[in-house]
Amino acid sequence: MVQALLAGILVSVACAVAGTFMILRGLAFIGDALGHGVLPGIAVAVLVGFPGIVGAAIGAAFMIGGITLITQRSRLSSDTAIGLLFIGMLSLGVVIVSRSNSFTGDLTRILFGEILGISKQSILIQLGASVVVVITAIICARPFLLLSFDPEQAEVAGFSARFYHNVMLFLIALTVIVSFQTVGTLLVFGLLIAPAGAGALLARRIETMMGWAALFGVLSMYTGLLISYHLQLAAGASIILVSVFVFFVVFVMQNLRHRRVKITQGVKHES
Partner 1 sequence: MSHKRVNSITSPGALVKEGLVAESSGIPFISARNLTIGYAGEIVVRDINFDLPPGQAIALIGTNGSGKSTLLKTIVGLIPPIAGQITVFGKSPGTSHARIAYLGQYHPSGFVLPLRVIDVVRMGRYPVYGLLGRMGKKDEEIIREAMRLMGIEHLADRPLRSLSGGQQQRTYLAQVLAHQADLLVLDEPTAGLDAAGRDLYLHAINDELCRGASIVVATHDIHEEAAMCHQVMLLARKVVALGSPAEVLTPEALLETFGIIISSEKRIQVLECQHGHDGSEQTGSGKSGH
Q: List interacting residues with partner 1 (CB under 8 A).
A: 24-26, 139-140, 142-143, 145-146, 148-153, 155-159, 200, 203-206, 208-209
8, 222 Cβ separation under 8 angstroms: yes
Q: From the CB of 219, what's the least distance to partner 1, in Å?
A: 20
Comparing CB distances to partner 1, the nearer of 18 and 188 is: 18
Comparing CB distances to partner 1, the nearer of 27 and 187 is: 27
3-state DSSP assignment of residue 49: coil
Q: From the CB of 156, what's the least distance to partner 1, in Å?
A: 4
**Torsion angle, CA of 3/32/237/178, rounded to 10 degrees?**
-10
Residues near 176 by Cβ (< 8 Å), separated by ≥ 6? 31, 34, 35, 38, 56, 60, 188, 189, 192
Residue 147's closest CA among 17, 24, 12?
Answer: 24
Q: From the CB of 73, what's the least distance to partner 1, in Å?
A: 14
HSE-CB of 233 using CA atoms within 13 angstroms: 16
Q: Kindly list the distances between the CA atom of residue 266 and the CA atoms of 149, 254, 255, 258, in Å, as whole numbers in the listed order.
A: 33, 18, 16, 12
Q: From the CB of 201, what's the least distance to partner 1, in Å?
A: 9
Comparing CB distances to partner 1, the nearer of 18 and 140 is: 140
Q: From the CB of 147, what's the least distance to partner 1, in Å?
A: 10
